[in-house]
């Protein structure tokens, strides 16, 4: 008993020192932001703790239960959405906190009708205590990897605390200090929902977790891409009107300049490569400078392009025109109209989300740096996706689809569908807490 009390006292002291230090760093960061546009952008729009607490208290008061999600960015938010939708339908108040401003901007651009905000600028127990006291969450869910000591310690004192979609990062290694801290944080969770048995075993053995607190649930991202694919087709208004009626459509999704160069290199090898294809390009970054670069490079290659925002409603494009989507949040919808998809990122760094096009059964390809995605590795190993290392590879891949008149039936949709169900399993488990 005395040992437990001493340990709690020590932990509290450490958290107070940490909170004081992080508060000082936060104030220093605001000074640095005056000279750093990138840092200034991250801090911009962060709500004051008192204002956000007042808003959450007002929203919360008419609900029996509340669930708080803590997400890093847009990807984690998408993984949380199947559970958010189920909770909202069950009359539970749900609020999402974004650590990254890009996630907040993503949800804002999509005009999602759910409660969300940026997190405070610092990870102090004082700020979190104020917010959590106002919200009084029945349950707090951290998505995947976002482990902040001040937040986790504070949330532990308000309702249940869970980690969803827990998985080992590919190539993950920990130094002894990092492993010690991570182990201490993970042991604060009441339950950890692991993506697979391999992940569950890794967490239990590597971080000394109690086995009964770890459940193998699967990954909610599979549910999200399936559910989103169904809504994407139904929500396709202007895009469905302006796209020409063609048999084959190529989507360059989350495209970087390096991915565009792979396409243009293939076109330079075969001037007729895109004959019969309508092309939609969805840049990963939609800032004006990047869009201008894409348009310029396409023009240099003799390819006609239009941007989504410059086309009037009710007008359609010519079959040989390339459409550049310069509006955030339209990638899933674009994939729903595709025949083939070249997913960006892997030409220079790492591949982006391969599941969104896969759920539509598209013919898939990406660059050589795809090992960071377990799904991409599996699709390649199963022979239902191609690795494109050079423009020659791209030309061969696209010509092969043209020759076969390939439809969307190459097995990727079934592969994704077989992995769904995590959200229902987790939600059923949560009902025991919410209805308690």
Helices (H), 284-417: 288-300, 331-335, 355-358, 374-381, 391-404, 412-417
Which phi and psi angles does 248 have, rounded to 5°? -135, 135
CB of 142 within 8 A of CB of 123?
no
Joined tokens for residue 333:
């919808």
| 3-state SS track over 364-389 | EEECCCCCCCHHHHHHHHCCCEEECC
Nearest to 257 by CA among 320, 324, 165: 324
Give the predicted TM-score (pTM) of the model: 0.75
pLDDT in tens, the chain (436 residues): 444 554 455 466 676 677 766 666 666 556 565 666 765 666 667 788 899 999 999 999 999 999 999 998 888 999 999 999 999 999 999 999 998 888 898 899 888 889 999 988 788 888 899 999 999 999 999 998 888 889 999 999 888 999 999 988 765 566 788 888 889 899 999 999 999 999 999 999 999 999 999 999 999 988 888 887 777 554 445 788 888 888 899 999 999 999 999 999 999 999 999 999 999 999 999 999 999 999 999 999 999 999 998 886 657 788 889 999 998 888 888 998 999 999 999 999 999 999 889 888 899 999 999 998 888 998 999 898 999 999 999 999 999 998 876 555 556 777 777 788 999 999 999 998 886 6
Q: H/E/C letters for each residue in 228-287? A: HHHHHHHCCCHHHHHCCCCCEEEEEEEECHHHHHHHHHHHHHCCCCCCCEEEEEEECCCC
Beta bridge partners of 70: 97, 142
Domains and CATH numbers, the chain: 25-218+421-434 (3.40.50.11720), 228-417 (3.40.50.2000)
Does residue 219 sit in helix, strand or coil? coil
Q: Which residues of 71-83 are buried (b: 16+ CB within 10 A; e: fewer)?
A: bbbbbbbbbbbbb
- Cα–Cα distance measured from residue 352 to residue 350, given in angstroms and rounded to the nearest whole number: 7
The helix (H) or strand (E) run that includes residue 117 is strand 115-118
């Amino acid at each position: 008993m005395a040992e437990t009390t001493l340990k709690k006292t020590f932990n509290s002291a450490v958290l107070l020192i940490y909170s004081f230090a992080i508060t000082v760093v936060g104030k220093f960061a605001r000074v640095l932001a005056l000279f750093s546009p990138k840092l200034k952008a991250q801090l911009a729009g962060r709500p004051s703790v008192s204002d956000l607490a007042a808003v959450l208290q007002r929203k919360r008061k008419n609900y029996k239960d509340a669930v708080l999600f803590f997400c890093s960015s847009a990807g984690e938010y998408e993984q949380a959405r199947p559970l958010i939708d189920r909770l909202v339908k069950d009359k539970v108040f749900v609020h999402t906190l974004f650590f990254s401003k890009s996630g907040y901007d993503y949800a804002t651009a999509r005009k999602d009708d759910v409660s969300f905000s940026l997190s405070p600028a610092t990870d102090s127990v004082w700020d979190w205590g104020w917010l959590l006291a106002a919200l009084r969450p029945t349950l707090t869910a951290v998505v995947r990897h976002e482990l902040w000591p001040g937040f986790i310690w504070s949330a532990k004192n308000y309702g249940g605390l869970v980690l969803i979609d827990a998985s080992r990062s590919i190539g993950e290694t920990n130094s002894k200090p990092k492993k010690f801290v991570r182990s201490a944080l993970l042991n604060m969770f009441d339950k950890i929902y692991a993506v697979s048995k391999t992940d569950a075993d890794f967490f239990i053995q590597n971080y000394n977790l109690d086995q009964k607190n770890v459940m193998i649930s699967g990954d909610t991202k599979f549910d999200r891409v399936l559910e989103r694919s169904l809504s994407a087709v139904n929500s396709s208004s202007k895009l469905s009107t302006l796209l020409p009626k063609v048999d084959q459509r190529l989507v360059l999704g989350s495209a970087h300049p390096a991915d565009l160069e792979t396409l243009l290199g293939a076109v330079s090898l075969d001037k007729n490569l895109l004959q019969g294809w309508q092309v939609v390009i969805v840049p990963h970054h939609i800032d004006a400078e990047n869009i201008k670069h894409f348009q310029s490079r396409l023009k240099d290659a003799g390819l006609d392009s239009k941007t989504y925002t410059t086309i009037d409603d009710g007008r359609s494009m010519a079959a040989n025109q390339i459409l550049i989507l310069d509006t955030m949040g339209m990638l899933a919808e674009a994939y729903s109209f595709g025949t083939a998809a070249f997913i960006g990122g892997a030409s220079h760094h790492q591949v982006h989300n391969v599941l969104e096009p896969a759920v539509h059964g598209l013919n898939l390809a990406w660059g050589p740096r795809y090992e960071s995605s377990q799904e991409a590795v599996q699709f390649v190993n199963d022979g239902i996706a191609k690795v494109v290392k050079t423009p020659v590879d791209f030309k061969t891949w696209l010509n092969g689809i043209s020759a076969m008149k390939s439809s969307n039936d190459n097995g990727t949709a079934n592969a994704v569908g077989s992995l769904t169900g995590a959200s229902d399993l987790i939600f059923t488990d949560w009902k025991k807490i919410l209805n308690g």
